[in-house]
Amino acid sequence: MNDMVLQCGRPLYNDLIKWDCLTRRKILTGGIPLHRYLRAVGFSNIQKREEYEELVRFTSECYQTEESAVNAEGEDFSERRKAFAEQMGLMVRGVYDEKEEFHAEYCVPYFTGRAERFYEDMVIERHAEKESYAGVCDDMNLGVSLIFYLQNVTEYLNRKRYGRMENATASLILSGLSVEGKVLMPVYQKMPVVSEIKASQERSRMLQAARDGDEDAIENLTLEDMDMYSMISRRITDEDVFSIVTTHFMPCGVECDHYNIMGEILDVELLENNKTHEKVYVLTIETNEIIMDVCINQKDLLGEPKAGRRFRGIIWLQGLVHFEEKW
């Protein structure tokens, strides 16, 4: 009798059943939706669902690392990674059944950055659709909550299961995947003087006080915003908006972890996907005093990136959380 499984009420036949080349356990794939940000890590040539499912099978069979955890439903949840360049690749997540057959549920591209920031208060919550998670933390440089897609889900699940989250602080490595961006020329800026640095520190202090309910801080911030709006309104009649606004970090669209950013390029690196041989730029960017690495396909970047110039584009924000115990 032919092997057959059911997925979403439809039969999947032998061509969707593969064998793990490392553990010789069955892998079941099929019906996995195509991910928009595949091209950011060098897979712009994947256009058809059949090509994508073949790529998911390849990643599932020839993965380089695997981490497992027990999810809320009591299933053996697994995270398999395959790198196609340094710190960049695909991640297939799924579950094992009682026969130790791996069911691939979804596949996401990832890129791990290098700049690390410390956050004391961080909240991680599960998405309603599937076993994926979003992290939320407050950043005083932005004045709003920062929401990112969590990369190391299995580590979080294991810590949560064994009760090691209550007394944990976290450092966060942010990175962004982009499928559209452009390079802008820099604007002349004088070196920040001591008074400007102190003013920035004072604004961060007032933002924290406003979050705690301080009415005086709220009023002062409102007056500052009104003065800023008035200054921009005067200058916009004679100047280009991007000569006035040198950096920004704004939520974009309806998805919480997508942002429209603009910032100074600090470093440029060109990587090559070892499977497709597509070129991918890794741009180290400082935006609103936040330093992060952004990964974008060479085909999707308009202009030549160089240190000192600016990048503007839409990113899907990811985060790798390093949990630390409080003692």
Spans of all domains in the chain: 5-111, 190-245
CA–CA gap between residue 79 and residue 153 (Å, rounded): 8
Q: Which two tokens stand for residue 209?
A: 């006080």
Instruction: Please state, for a pLDDT cut of 70, what percent of the chain lies above it.
Output: 79
Q: Is the pTM of this model over 0.85?
A: no
pLDDT at 93 (0 to 100): 94
Assess whether pLDDT exceeds 80 at residue 143. no
**C-beta contacts of 130-133 below 8 A and 24+ residues apart:** 130/105, 130/106, 131/71, 131/77, 131/93, 131/95, 131/105, 132/93, 132/106, 132/108
Reported confidence tier of residue 168, pLDDT bands at 50, 70, 90 = low
How confident is the model over 301-314, as pLDDT tens digits? 999 999 999 999 99
Rounded Cα–Cα distance for residues 227 and 270 (Å) = 42
How confident is the model over 13-23, as pLDDT tens digits? 333 334 444 44
Q: What is the C-alpha separation between 181 and 297, in angstroms, rounded? A: 10
Lowest mean pLDDT, pick from 122-126, 177-181, 198-202, 209-213 = 198-202
Q: Which of 24-28, 38-42, 48-52, 162-166 has the highest mean pLDDT?
A: 38-42
pLDDT of res. 23: 40
